[in-house]
Amino acid sequence: MRMLGLCRVSQDNTGRPEETTVISDGSLRSTLLLAAALLGCAAHAHAEYPERPLRFIVPQAAGSASDTSARIIAVELGRILGQQVVVDNRPGGGLTIGINMVVRAAADGYTLGYGNIGGLAINRSMMKVPYDALIDIQPVAQTNSNGMLLAVAPQLPARSVRELIDYAKAHPGKLSNASSGNGTPGHFGGELFKDMAGVDIVHVPYKGGAAAMTEMMTGRVQVMFESMSSIVQHHRSGKLRGLALTSLKRSSSYPDIPTLDESGVPGYDMTVWSGLITPPGIGKPVLAKLNDAINKALVAPGLREKYAANGVETVGGTAEEFRAFIRREVEKYAAISKKIGVKVE
């Protein structure tokens, strides 16, 4: 076996000795083996993603519907990926602050976002946003879908949608619709209800759904459209009175609650949804691993039970399916927004 490289000495143009290394067959073989080992290490390192905790940006306040659902998902994702998934609440700007942080983060798979109907589809029709949800984000998978609950303060005499409409028409401008902020689904849902029911109700935005619901319980505001996951517990306890769901179909978990469509506002249809997103440009292997983890998390018995208790249904699917869904929702709410003329200054 030929051993390490040999050296020969020659002279350069100045007459000074010049040393040239000649690599032997044995040395070349060793170099190739080393290169192969390094490539193997690199591939192994890539396959081991994630190697540290993941940051999960939620564009709404702690205690909100999105936060509740996101934390349930974060636990399952952490279990499947083998790393902690840390929820980072970044509310404000009609959900745009948190989403924009995801857009601007490094596309390395360690920053995730919880994109929902407000941040990705609705508010682009209501206000100026610093990103284009159809270009500037990478969808991973849709996680859940559910109708919002139209609820009223217990002090209000209305016990049905029809009674609420009659009361609002008899007292124009006297009722207030609380929401978790401008540009949120609760804001849009209230505006759509006003248009379709022909009533005058004043919108009052709060910094998060928890604050809005607290005000509702005291009677300072009287009407609210909020995701089932955060408001249904108050409906069950009687602290708020749920009147109807905004979706066309009743909830399988709460079949006794009628829909707005069947309660005096025919054609009313608004289903809220959320999904996992990342910055654009993320590598395909990492995207595939995240999508696989999400779909596994969504069939975990513990997660499904918690979602069902809150009237939330799991979805799942591919990244491409989620992207196509977002596009359809953008087009849908752009048309509705144009029709009813709702804007946020």
CATH code where residue 72 lies:
3.40.190.150
The answer to whether 230 and 69 have CB atoms below 8 angstroms apart is no
In a domain, 213, yes or no: yes
**Alpha carbons within 13 A on the beta-carbon side of 36:** 6
In a domain, 4, yes or no: no
In a domain, 115, yes or no: yes
> What domain range is 334 assigned to?
54-146+272-340
205 and 63 in a single domain? The answer is: no
In a domain, 254, yes or no: no
180 and 316 in a single domain? The answer is: no
- Total domains present in the chain: 2
Query: How many angstroms separate the CA atoms of 220 and 199, rounded?
Result: 19
In order along its 345 residues, the chain shows pLDDT tens digits of 444 443 344 444 444 444 444 444 555 555 555 555 555 554 444 458 999 999 999 998 887 778 889 999 999 999 999 999 999 999 888 789 999 999 999 999 999 999 999 899 998 888 889 999 999 999 999 999 999 999 999 999 999 999 999 999 999 999 999 998 887 889 999 999 999 999 999 999 988 788 899 999 999 999 999 988 788 889 999 999 999 999 999 998 889 999 999 999 999 999 999 999 999 999 999 999 999 999 999 999 899 999 988 888 999 999 999 999 999 999 999 998 888 887 776
In a domain, 319, yes or no: yes
Count of CB atoms situated within 10 Å of the CB of 220: 14
60 and 132 in a single domain? The answer is: yes
Alpha helices in the chain (DSSP H): 25-47, 65-81, 96-104, 117, 161-170, 185-197, 209-218, 228-237, 284-298, 301-309, 319-340
Query: How many angstroms separate the CA atoms of 36 and 21, rounded?
Result: 23
167 and 99 in a single domain? The answer is: no
286 and 317 in a single domain? The answer is: yes
- Hey, what are 239's tokens? 């602290």
96 and 118 in a single domain? The answer is: yes
174 and 127 in a single domain? The answer is: no
In a domain, 43, yes or no: no
Query: How many angstroms separate the CA atoms of 195 and 200, rounded?
Result: 9
71 and 127 in a single domain? The answer is: yes
189 and 336 in a single domain? The answer is: no
In a domain, 135, yes or no: yes
